[in-house]
Amino acid sequence: MKKSVIILLASGALAAGYVAMQSHVNQLVDDKLQTQFALAAGDSGLQFDYADASANVFNGNIVVNGLTVADPEGVAAFSIDEIVLIGYEEDKISEFTQINVQGFTLSDAIKADNIDAPKALLDAHYNFGTSLAYDAQTGYSRLKMDLVAQGLTGLNLDMELSNSTPLMEVSFEMQKAQDASTLTVEEQLQMQTKIMEAMQQLAPKSLKLNVENKGQLAQLLDEQLAVAGLDQASFENMLQIQLAQAPLPQAAKEGVMAFAQGKELLSLSVSLPENMDIESLSQQAMMLAGQPEALAKLLNLEVQGK
């Protein structure tokens, strides 16, 4: 038999095997989603439906398309075009997990019930992404979150933590317990206590937060000022009075005012002393109450606006 024929037969066999394996994996994902949505529906009364779900047999990425969520009466609440889950591992704590949500939109029924909210926010399409990196050897973790209202604004958060192993372990323990059975009220309270204790051991390293104009943020803010009966000048005067009374360092006040005037970008960053857990940080902050400049120095606080 010629080599070309052998190669074609082998390729065909591999392709058929891949299709069969992919189909099997997709069915497993579908079954798992059905179970998870059934549990969520039982707890909340919400109704979940989706067009299809799949998992990549090579990298394990899970994709859910066309998710819709309705209230207990079947009235649509919101829809999501696509959800992608990257790095999830069911049997251990993942070193890296990421969730990307594309095309979140509110239903007409929800919009009608919230007519006092800004129309631009109600009508917007939202994209959301969050990732968590974790090093089990050092206890270091890094959480990133991005939220974009298309054509309006974007919110970005980046946080680094040390000594996060206790929280990661108790979170994984709770996840496994919930997967195995429905937790009793007592078991839920026990888990919440463990989580609170683990959170007290966290040692925050840094925090960055940005709010950025993605198109029509200035127009949106101006419209809200008009609804409140304010123009830009009267708003700035009112803000100046409020900032003068606020327990903030002068540099932070200037950054907030610059954003109020420019409506383009507001950024905040904090860098904390090494290995200072939340409890110690709280104690230090209480000792510096009423001393905003000293507290800002402890936190290495920077606020910028434009």
What pLDDT, in 10s, does the model give residues 110-141? 899 998 889 999 999 999 999 999 999 999 99
Instruction: Answer whether 167's CB lies under 8 Å from 202's CB.
Output: yes
If asked whether residues 191 and 232 sit together in one domain, one would say no
CA–CA gap between residue 207 and residue 157 (Å, rounded): 7
Residue 188 inside a domain? The answer is yes
Residue 28 inside a domain? The answer is no
Longest dimension (CA), the chain: 89
If asked whether residues 214 and 300 sit together in one domain, one would say yes
If asked whether residues 275 and 251 sit together in one domain, one would say yes
Overall number of domains in the chain: 2
If asked whether residues 195 and 281 sit together in one domain, one would say no
CA–CA gap between residue 216 and residue 119 (Å, rounded): 12
Residue 223 inside a domain? The answer is yes
If asked whether residues 236 and 188 sit together in one domain, one would say no
CA–CA gap between residue 116 and residue 301 (Å, rounded): 35
To the nearest whole percent, how much of the chain has pLDDT over 90?
A: 44
For 120, the token pair is 């631009």
If asked whether residues 254 and 169 sit together in one domain, one would say no
CA–CA gap between residue 152 and residue 135 (Å, rounded): 35
pLDDT bucket at 20, cuts 50 / 70 / 90:
very low
Q: What is the pTM of this model?
A: 0.83
Residue 247 inside a domain? The answer is yes
If asked whether residues 276 and 225 sit together in one domain, one would say yes
Instruction: Answer whether 64's CB lies under 8 Å from 83's CB.
Output: yes
Q: Give the pLDDT mean for 96-109.
A: 91
Element (H, E) at 270: strand 265-271
Residue 136 inside a domain? The answer is no
Length of the chain as a residue count: 306
pLDDT bucket at 58, cuts 50 / 70 / 90:
low
Single out the residue in 201, 218, 246 at which a domain terminates.
Answer: 201
* Residue 242 confidence (pLDDT): 95
Residue 94 inside a domain? The answer is no
Residue 111 inside a domain? The answer is no
If asked whether residues 243 and 260 sit together in one domain, one would say yes
CA–CA gap between residue 245 and residue 233 (Å, rounded): 19
Residues with Cβ < 8 Å from 244, sequence gap 6 or more? Answer: 253
Looking at residue 92, its amino acid is K
How does 245-274 read in b/e, with b if 16+ C-beta sit within 10 Å? eeebbeebbebbebbbeebebbbbbbebee
* Residue 29 confidence (pLDDT): 56
Identify the domain containing residue 193 by its residue range.
Answer: 164-201
If asked whether residues 215 and 276 sit together in one domain, one would say yes
**By three-state DSSP, how is residue 250 classified?**
helix
Single out the residue in 201, 220, 253 at which a domain terminates.
Answer: 201
Residue 32 inside a domain? The answer is no
If asked whether residues 278 and 218 sit together in one domain, one would say yes
If asked whether residues 228 and 300 sit together in one domain, one would say yes
Residue 89 clears pLDDT 60, i.e. is over it: yes
**For 25-39, how does the pLDDT look when each residue is reduced to its tens digit (9 = 90+)?**
455 556 666 677 666
Single out the residue in 147, 176, 201 at which a domain terminates.
Answer: 201
